[in-house]
Amino acid sequence: MSCLICNHDTKKFLDEKSTIAYYYCPHCQCISKSQEHFKPISEQKARYDLHENDPEDEGYRAYFRRFLDFVLPLVGTPKSALDFGCGRSSLLAEMLKEEGTGADYYDPVYHPDNLDDSKKYELIVSTEVFEHLHAPKAIFAQLLEMLEEGGYLALQTQFHPNNVEAFKKWYYHLDPTHIIFFTPHTFSVMCEMYGCTLVADNRKNMVVIRKNDG
């Protein structure tokens, strides 16, 4: 099977406990589940509905605060932002507004009519989204298209340990809606493919990417 990110050949391995097959790409370090485990949007929604993302919950707010504390010092003071894949809550967009950034929000399940493809943003944020994507490369390209020149894309998704045996023991792939997994190197390869720059990563679950001018 070819890698969903870079099209290089992958190496198949089996998680003996779940009997799910995975495909590891030595070139970009992407790992994806076999495609029979890709869930339709209706099944994904059933899982998302279990999430208790209460905007009044201080722990939920602190979760986004950690993300913004990493991202905002790297991106300056953007005037416009989009939270792509926000889920039911618009809390992250509201927190960006508190920082002085005008912010829209979109989610294909809960807010499917909120996306204006013609609008350009200085910052696009997407937290805990990329691990669900059936076509991550296409979404990555779409988000870059929606950025102003010199704008920033900030993503959060848990980076896998880049070791097959450690990966099998890793909790993150157990969620049935998590189908594709990344390392900072995966995003570095994507940046090379699409002519943008990886500005920084936190070595755990966050990455900031800049769309090059021109």
Q: How far apart are CA 206 and CA 71, in angstroms?
A: 8
Report pTM. Answer: 0.94
What class, spelled out in words, does domain 41-211 have in CATH? Answer: alpha beta
DSSP structure class, residue 35: G
Strand 206-211 relative to strand 196-201: parallel, antiparallel, unpaired? Answer: antiparallel
Nearest to residue 124, comparing CAs of 158, 100, 101? 101
97 Cβ contact list (under 8 Å, min separation 6): 103
Tens-digit pLDDT profile for residues 44-88: 766 666 666 666 678 889 999 999 999 999 999 999 999 999 998
Q: What are the beta bridge partners of residue 171? A: none
Q: Read off the tokens for 50.
A: 């279990």
Segment 137-193, tens digit of pLDDT: 999 999 999 999 999 999 999 999 999 999 999 999 999 999 999 999 999 999 999
